[in-house]
Structure 1
Amino acid sequence: MSTLPVSVPPFRQVAVIGAGTMGRGIVMSLANAGVQVLWLDNNPQMIEQGLQTVEQTYAHNVRQGRISEAQAAERRALVQAAADYPALAEADLVIEAVYENLELKQQIFRQLDTTVKAEAILASNTSALDIDAIAAVTDRPERVLGLHFFSPAHIMKLLEIVRGAKTDKAVLDAALELGRRMGKVAVVSGNCHGFIGNRMLATYVREARAMLLEGAYPHQVDGALQGFGFAMGPFRMYDVVGIDLEWRTREMAGKGQDVPEVQVDNRLCELGRFGQKTRMGYYRYAEGSRQAEHDPEVDALVQQVSEQLGYQRREIGAEEIVERSLLALVNEGAKILEEGIAANSHDVDLVYLNGYGFPADKGGPMAWADTQGVSAIRDRLLALQERFGEHWQPAALIERLAAEGKRFAEVQEGRA
């Protein structure tokens, strides 16, 4: 195993593996920061298309007056296609950005470990997978970390930097510095499924889907949360990112497809309604438009699915929608703090403000909870637990803070 130097030299040359949507955005984020980029994909045609996308994006930015032609030319010149893994030998950092498959990522990291220089840092752009399982296939786990960009990566501000069990502090510091160079809001997260943002999102989305089965409709859930101030509700969000992504992941994993809460998604995907890209998802979209239009056919499908599952539908008001959605976020956020996955509540809020469209004037889910009072949050969670079951049990940290009259803002590294 290599011995990590006390400091990590600046990243002068960075390699990106994967030329899909994420890879393209990451490449542009790096080039925009003046970093030389080597770009590799096992399909040369993907690199060709990726380079065209980069060219078109910069040309559009010039037309919009965002950058000059000279700046565009400078950035384009920083991006070079790489023919194979040996071409990456001198890269200071390699960012893998292929699709979410642990075996594939491990295979890439094994190859990188034997190809790139010993002091190079290896990063995965995974949004949920175990960084330690990826690091374990290398002889340099102290130089492996997660760099979770948000899509589109050249526009979205958030960067989750995921700390593995053996990731050296110097590596984290170098990643934070790179984040600053790229103009990102960089937040360090511990390693758990979904890290900070997607782990909390899973509980939020579970509630939204549960409310569909109980009696709400997608446009009602989204309307209530957008009324609270979210940039978009969960079903609009799924239409934008593609309903089929999770559906295909469940299919590949061979588990999770029979959970009641995903049955509406499954039916939509079986009908080819994947979201904006197919002009039909939870909503309809006119040709060339991103404007979501309410679709009564989806309401009928939601009703049919919930009745087939044996639910007695009822009216669900905006207040209940907002209450359950927010408290799901807060309760999971408290568990993340308690486990030391996030250093403090401000980091949790930064993730939600910059990556998930939480209303800026509310300060983030944990800041919002502090304005409500932690003991009031605990009482509201207990009421939900009594009504809907054990998954609403308040996090131990909430019980402790409520008993001590403290706020989430007073928690540092899992300790109040």
Structure 2
Amino acid sequence: MNLIGADNMMTIESSPSLAHDYAAAAERRVYDIDDVDMTAAPADLGHICVVGGGQMGSGIATALLENGVRVTLMETSDDRIEGAAARIRANWSNRVKRGELTESDIDERMGRFAGVTDLERAAPAQLFIEAAWESMALKKEIFGRLCQVAPPGAVLATNTSSLDINLIAETTDRPQDVIGLHFFSPAHVMRLLEVVRGERTSDRCIVTALALARLLKKVPVVVGVCFGFVGNRIFAARDQQTSRMLLEGASPQQIDDAMQHFGFPMGPFALQDMAGGIELTWRLRQQTGDVDEIGDALYEAGRLGQRTGRGYYRYEPGNRSPLPDPEVDAIIAGLRQKYGIVPRSVESEEIIDRMILPMINEAAKILDEGIAQRASDIDVVWNTGYGFPLDKGGITYHADTIGLPMILKRLRRLQAEHGDHFAPAPMIERMVAEGQPLSESKRS
């Protein structure tokens, strides 16, 4: 049974098989990009410089090395370079245990790896991928330096997951060479690559990004610039409701269970604990001025997820299974008391509505704004990067199986009950008036 509901008006016929066929066809379309000269010659990908050797930078370097690329990794100290090299080796350790790789294979790959503390020593590279912390000031500083040392015509890419690459490009005298390459963690495993086109990004940059995706066997989706691009913008719209529902009476495990029942491999809180989301979102809020009192309280209590053994859940040593924690219940109860909130029962159907419908709504806004070229590109982003259940086809395809009139009706009801976060996107209202499906739409 579809937990959101169904409507016999304006729905598309669907089944798991049809949904899988749609998702596969959507992936094949990602290389069909409007307004790009696909005959432009890509930059040489034989030698690539990765700037930053943390978890993301090490993952990107791992993906490059295992596909034959020579990698120079820039870090601020020899100790950090050694740490990055150890992380890269560790990324292959399970494959060695399974007999898929040998230590000699790893040594061969690491033979193409070099670490430097001075960007000038990486200057022969024709592609630079910045993978530093998500700070606009830091990224501007790095790109100012890249502009000084990178060879003419080199592609300067940022791995930012949400920041405005146009502002980053302004720090250089070659904005046409700046592009976003948003890898997903772990970068050597996840298939999605969001290719973020700035206002002045050249066709050559885009063609280079697509060539890199082919080399790394990833699925590239070209998107425009806005906060969070496609993937994280929809993620933020979805998860805006999680803390509110906790304050209203739901528990982390109840919300996670509902989302897993819908078809996601993990719920939002288990995912945050696994991916370090408590710290990441806290740091982001310091820049944006947004507030999430539950997330802030967990951060201040040192509950940073699996790596600290405590996040929205607690974790036993050596075990990643999330366990309910009374301390988290007490934090939430204290905030309810602070704001005079009397907890109520929040049912699974409501949880699904309040998390899935904003995703559909935000997808329509993204398409209407021209951030994505086609609705199916949005579906590819969430299918390959966020675990949207393939038996539902994708966000916009799922909306059409429900029926946009029903989506519109439920958004209006949620708007009346919970505020303008649920105000229907104008595009959904237009699609309903015109009797058109969302999943077949393209930007105008």
TM-score by length of 1: 0.94
Match of 1:148, as an amino acid?
Answer: H
**Residue 29 (str. 1) matches residue 59 (str. 2):** no
**Secondary structure in structure 2 of the residue aligned to 1:80:** strand
Map 1:338-353 → 2, pairs under 5 A: 338-353=368-383
Measured in 2, the distance between the counterparts of 1:163 and 1:376 equals: 34
Pair 1:245-2:275 in alignment = no
Question: Partner of 2:204 in structure 1?
Answer: 170
Does residue 268 of the first structure (1) align with residue 303 of the second (2)? no
Structure 1 distance, partners of 2:426, 2:226, is 18
Identity of aligned residues (%): 43
**Alignment of structure 1 residues 8-407 onto 2, 5 Å:** 8-242=42-276, 243-251=278-286, 253=287, 255-256=289-290, 259=291, 262-407=292-437
Give the Cα–Cα distance (whole angstroms) in 2 for the partners of residues 351 and 284 of structure 1: 30
Q: CA RMSD in A?
A: 1.5
1:338: how far off? 0.6
2:81–2:116 CA contact under 8 A, matched in 1: no
Tell me how far apart the structure 2 counterparts of residues 209 and 59 of structure 1 sit (CA, whole Å): 37
Q: Distance in 2 between matches of 1:58 and 1:392?
A: 44
Q: Which deviates the most, 353-362 or 328-337?
A: 353-362
Runs of 4 or more, structure 1, over 6 Å off, are: none
What is the rounded CA distance, in whole Å, between the counterparts of 2:94 and 2:405 in structure 1? Answer: 51
Does the residue aligned with 1:408 lie in a helix, a strand or coil? coil
Give the TM-score taking structure 2 as reference length: 0.88
1:322-381 C-alpha deviation (Å, 9 max, x unpaired): 011000111011101111111111111111111112112111211110111112111111
Q: How many residues align?
A: 405
Q: 1:324, 1:249 → 2: CA distance? A: 23
1:245 maps to a residue whose letter is: L
How far is 1:70 from its partner? 4.6
Preserved contact between residue 126 and residue 153 of structure 2 (Cα < 8 Å): yes
Q: Secondary structure at the match of 2:193?
A: strand
* Alignment partners' CA distance in 1, 2:69 and 2:368: 37
Give the secondary structure class of the aligned counterpart of 2:318.
coil
Q: What's the CA shift for 1:59?
A: 4.3
Secondary structure, aligned partner of 2:344: coil
2:111 alignment partner, SS class:
helix
- Greater RCO (CA < 8 Å, at least 6 residues apart): 2
The Cα of 1:158 is off from its aligned counterpart by: 1.2
Quick one: distance in 2 between partners of 1:399 and 1:138? 42
Query: Take 2:48 and 2:329, find their aligned partners in 1: how far apart are those partners?
Result: 48
1:7 Cα offset (Å):
2.2
Residues 128, 156 of structure 2: 8 Å contact kept:
yes
Distance 1:312 1:83, change over 3 A: closer
Structure 1 unaligned blocks of 5 or more: none
Which stretch shifts more, 205-214 or 23-32? 205-214
Distance in 2 (alpha carbons) for counterparts of 1:373 and 1:350: 20
Matched to 1:241, the amino acid is: A
Q: Check the 8 A contact 1:217/1:302 in 2, yes or no.
A: no
Distance 2:210 2:260 in 1: 32
Structure 2 residue runs of 5 or longer lacking an equivalent are 1-38
Which whole-Å deviations, capped at 9, do the CAs of 1:290-348 have from their partners, x for residues lacking one?
Answer: 00012233223212212312323211100000011000111011101111111111111
**Structure 2: how far apart are the matches of 1:77 and 1:152?**
22
- CA distance in 2 between counterparts of 1:211 and 1:336 reads 25
How many Å separate the matches in 2 of 1:185 and 1:31?
18
- 3-state secondary structure, aligned to 1:299: helix
Q: Is the 8 A contact 1:349 1:367 kept in 2?
A: yes
Task: State how far apart, in whole Å, the 2-side matches of 1:102 and 1:176 are.
Answer: 25
Q: CA deviation at 1:74?
A: 2.6
1:196-233 CA distance string (max 9 Å, x none):
01111111111111111112111111111111111111
